[in-house]
């Protein structure tokens, strides 16, 4: 039934499908290009990217569970935001430590570097996983509604469609997570506390 419904929507709202396709390419086009050109040729980078996305989902799930378990958090948006940021950075640090431990294990058995979190390609793949997972969770449901007929505008920004705004937000989220992964890994590697604080900030 769901497949028939989707086919009907696509046939009945051609402009909606075009809007959805365009916004999706704006949101994920750069990430798809990086994945195809840099990550996909190397199986190890694909593993790192997938693992980092999974770690991000786990960290944000823990933040959501804490938010549900502690009722006072539900009444204070600022505290909830801080809790979400801290949980994501804990997940990022746990991911780095996991990769570093795996690299040490592999180095003890072979001279080949499989899971090194220190070279740029690995950092790029890791940031890409974090960013794509974050973008899909945050704006995926909004972009899904673009398939329907018509479009929507927010009162705060009447000149731009809500779906285009969400697509740009998703694209910037991916880029931001890649840059943040570079800063965070550099901080973890150099053990500089001020750099780690900058990554959290």
Q: Residue 1 is encoded by which pair of tokens?
A: 């039934």
Q: Are 112 and 106 in contact (CB under 8 A)?
A: yes
Helix-helix angle 162-190:14-34, to 10 degrees: 10
Q: What is the pLDDT of residue 20?
A: 75
Would you kindly state where each structural domain of the chain is located, as residue ranges?
2-200
Q: What's the burial of 3, exposed, middle or buried (CB within 10 Å: 0-12/13-18/19+)?
A: exposed
pLDDT tens by residue, 99-155: 888 887 877 776 665 556 567 888 889 899 999 998 888 777 777 666 666 666 766
How do the residues of the chain divide into helix, strand and coil, expressed in percent and rounded to 5? 85, 5, 15
pLDDT tens by residue, 45-103: 898 899 999 999 999 899 888 888 887 777 777 777 888 888 888 988 898 888 888 88
> Rounded to an integer, what distance in angstroms lies between the CA atom of residue 43 and that of residue 49?
10
């Amino acid at each position: 039934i769901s497949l028939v419904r989707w086919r009907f929507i696509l046939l009945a709202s051609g402009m909606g499908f075009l809007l959805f396709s365009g916004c999706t390419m704006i949101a994920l086009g750069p990430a798809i290009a990086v994945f195809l050109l840099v990550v996909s040729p190397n199986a190890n980078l694909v593993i790192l990217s997938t693992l980092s996305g999974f770690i991000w989902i786990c960290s944000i799930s823990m933040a959501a569970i804490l938010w549900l378990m502690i009722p006072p958090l539900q009444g204070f948006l600022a505290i909830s935001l801080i809790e979400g940021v801290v949980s994501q950075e804990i997940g990022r640090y746990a991911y780095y430590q996991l990769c570093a431990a795996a690299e040490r294990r592999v180095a003890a058995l072979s001279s080949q570097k499989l899971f090194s979190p220190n070279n740029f390609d690995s950092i790029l793949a890791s940031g890409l996983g974090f960013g794509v997972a974050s973008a899909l969770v945050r704006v995926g449901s909004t972009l899904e509604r673009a398939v329907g007929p018509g479009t929507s505008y927010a009162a705060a920004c009447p000149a731009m469609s809500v779906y285009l705004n969400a697509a740009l937000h998703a694209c910037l989220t991916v880029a931001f997570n890649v840059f943040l992964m570079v800063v965070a890994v550099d901080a973890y590697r150099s053990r500089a506390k001020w750099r780690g604080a900058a990554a959290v900030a």
